[in-house]
Amino acid sequence: MTNIAGRVREAFRGDQRIDPDALIARLDAVRRFLTAVDGLLPDSELVPAHTLVERAGTRLALSRDHTVVALAGATGSGKSSLFNALARLELSPVGVRRPTTGVTHACVWGALEGANRLLDWIGVLPRHRFVRESALDADDETALHGLILLDLPDFDSVQRSHRLEVDRLLGLVDQVVWVVDPQKYADRVIHDSYLREFHRHRDVTLVVLNQADRLPPAELPRVLDDLRRLLDADGLTGVPLLATTAIDPAGMVGLRTALEGTVAERQAALRRLAGDVDTVVAALDELVGSARPVGGPDDTAVGGLNRALAGAAGVPAVTEAVEQAYRHRAGAATGWPVVKGWRRLRPDPLRRLHLPGPTGDRADPAESLVAATSVPDPTAAQRSALGLAIRAVADRAAADLPAAWPTAVTSAARSRLGDLPDALDRTIAGTDLGLGRRPLWWRLVGGVQWLVTLAAVVGLGWLVLGYALRALGLPALDNPMVGQVPLPTLLLLGGLLAGLLVAALTRPVVRWAARRARGRAEQRLTAEVARVGEEYVLAPVRIVLASYAQARDALRDAARR
């Protein structure tokens, strides 16, 4: 008997004791995982994790001085008889009808008051709770102080509500004692639907072959060996396997010793929760994998996105207008003063797009509140190119992620697609195109044009005055000569020719400067459009990638034991 007790205690002790602080840290890691993936992964995949966090928090907050052990088995396995034999009272009904146990019964070793909150959470009705407090003075009962033993309904009951109740309670108890009988120990239902699912809870699982007295002594070892083979196939290698009989006190020694060891260690609840964490982490690992994504999409995808955004924002049309506006304004500043008025009658190209005019200010101050340019709307081809560029960004960013994440990355990349047109329009309207100030050389050339024009006007006036005097018979003016040419004529012709020459020399310079202004405007607009792409497309993608990294690290922490 002593050897049996030692082996059972060693089996339940596991590799090491569970540190409560380490377990709480693992649960917190699962909670951090759920926070990181909130709204990114399908909720159906996260239900077990949410359930674990809720149940574990409640279980740890309730009594740690009690250990909840459930007797689970099929109809006719004799678990109610074991329940009564362990309690040494007739608490749970025993019979041959199907199902025998319809509701869960609980027996508490110790004061019932300390276990009531735990039983309320488990869902055992008060009228089905019993206590062994009156017998605690006996040494054999004192060893079970703190035990809450449950007799569950039959899991193969014809009533579906009984099976649902069993499934619910199996997720709440600290330890499960599976009761099988010699006739149905190999039944596929218990192995496929239950025992195999508990392979991560080996430390809190015990299997008993009940009604061993019905087997000939020579057959018992063979049946136990066959049952052990089945348990190994279920992944329950090392799980204690005992033979019991409720009609003989000697046949209850092994089971009772195992329960005493469980109660004494106060580790069953922690080991059960640790096993639950292992189960949840194993399921979540498929959602996370081990990919290590970079900080965001690669440069090729980002470059394609920026080009597509520039096309959709009308950057080519705006830069062309900048070049034309530069030439228009330069011509007005450096051309003949005589024809400047005619040039001003032509609309400024940027004004036509509701962009900053010659002074750099808007025509209407109210436009500063809600920017609304007249830049042409993007064509169908440009909209399609933008959609493909956004998809390429998402695909490149999620290339190495597990299957559950590309959808989240794509959704993030497209999450603000409806806001892009207004954002791009505001950006175009608010970008400094570099035409707000007049270059110094414009003023110099304009000053020269005024001088030569003034010279031509003086020469013209001088000649007109001379003709008027002669027409009136007055003495003619003595015009100074420059060589063989009268000074008034030289002033008139020289001013006109100089004006033409300055205009001819200035025109190629204006074209060259206009192209440079266009290039500068294109750089500024492209940079501003890229900032819109960063905010409205790339930033949401990077948030998802950061959430993935956080989820991966949290799951890695949750997997550590």
At 329, the pLDDT band (50, 70, 90 cuts) reads confident
Share of the chain above pLDDT 70, in %: 88
Cα radius of gyration rounded to whole Å, the chain? 45
Mean pLDDT of the region 230-254: 91
Q: Which of 124-128, 137-141, 339-343, 477-481 has the highest mean pLDDT?
A: 124-128
The more confidently predicted of residues 343 and 450 is 450
DSSP state of 131: E
The more confidently predicted of residues 205 and 431 is 205
Q: Are strands 67-73 and 241-243 parallel, antiparallel or unpaired?
A: unpaired
Model pLDDT, residue 100 = 55
Model pLDDT, residue 133 = 62
Q: What kind and span of H or E run contains 205?
A: strand 205-209
Q: Which of 111-125, 292-306, 465-479 has the highest mean pLDDT?
A: 111-125
Cβ atoms of 548 and 399 closer than 8 Å: no
Asked if the model's pLDDT at residue 386 lies above 50, the reply is yes
Model pLDDT, residue 98 = 46
What are the helix (H) ranges across 65-172? 79-87, 116-122, 139-142, 160-170
What is the set of domains in the chain, with CATH numbers? 2-288 (3.40.50.300), 299-437+509-559 (no CATH)
Model pLDDT, residue 294 = 59
Asked if the model's pLDDT at residue 242 lies above 90, the reply is yes
Model pLDDT, residue 243 = 93
Model pLDDT, residue 291 = 65
Give the range among 89-103, 339-353, 465-479 with minimum mean pLDDT.
Answer: 89-103
Mean pLDDT of the region 123-128: 91
Q: Which residues contact 509 (CB under 8 A, 6 or more apart)?
A: none
The model's pLDDT over 52-69, given as tens digits with 9 standing for 90+, comes to 999 999 999 988 889 999
What are the helix (H) ranges across 195-252? 220-233
The model's pLDDT over 2-31, given as tens digits with 9 standing for 90+, comes to 344 444 444 444 456 889 999 999 999 999
Gap between the Cα atoms of 155 and 162, Å rounded: 7
Gap between the Cα atoms of 190 and 180, Å rounded: 9
Asked if the model's pLDDT at residue 156 lies above 90, the reply is no
Q: Strand order in 205-209's β-sheet? A: 129-131, 105-108, 147-151, 67-73, 175-180, 205-209, 241-243
Model pLDDT, residue 1 = 39
Cβ atoms of 349 and 325 closer than 8 Å: yes
At 249, the pLDDT band (50, 70, 90 cuts) reads confident
CA distances to 313, 421, 462, 532 from 426, rounded to whole Å, are 10, 9, 57, 10
Model pLDDT, residue 293 = 62
CA-closest candidate to residue 59, choices 207, 172, 227, 212: 172
Model pLDDT, residue 483 = 75
Model pLDDT, residue 28 = 96
Mean pLDDT of the region 206-226: 92
Give the range among 36-40, 83-87, 254-258, 370-374 with minimum mean pLDDT.
Answer: 370-374
Asked if the model's pLDDT at residue 229 lies above 50, the reply is yes
Mean pLDDT of the region 216-235: 93
Model pLDDT, residue 257 = 92
The model's pLDDT over 441-493, given as tens digits with 9 standing for 90+, comes to 888 888 887 888 888 888 888 878 878 877 877 776 777 877 777 887 887 78
Gap between the Cα atoms of 58 and 22, Å rounded: 17
Cβ atoms of 104 and 169 closer than 8 Å: yes
- In this structure, which amino acid lies at residue 438? R
Model pLDDT, residue 315 = 85
Asked if the model's pLDDT at residue 263 lies above 70, the reply is yes
The model's pLDDT over 392-425, given as tens digits with 9 standing for 90+, comes to 999 998 888 888 899 999 999 999 988 888 888 8
Model pLDDT, residue 561 = 64
DSSP state of 264: H
Asked if the model's pLDDT at residue 514 lies above 90, the reply is no
Give the range among 103-117, 144-158, 279-293, 476-490 with minimum mean pLDDT.
Answer: 476-490
Q: Which of 33-37, 349-353, 467-471 has the highest mean pLDDT?
A: 33-37
Gap between the Cα atoms of 363 and 361, Å rounded: 7
Model pLDDT, residue 340 = 65
At 94, the pLDDT band (50, 70, 90 cuts) reads low
Model pLDDT, residue 34 = 95
The model's pLDDT over 277-287, given as tens digits with 9 standing for 90+, comes to 999 999 998 88
Asked if the model's pLDDT at residue 84 lies above 60, the reply is yes
Gap between the Cα atoms of 85 and 79, Å rounded: 10
Mean pLDDT of the region 123-129: 90
The more confidently predicted of residues 360 and 493 is 493
As a whole number, the mean pLDDT across the chain is 83
Gap between the Cα atoms of 414 and 408, Å rounded: 10
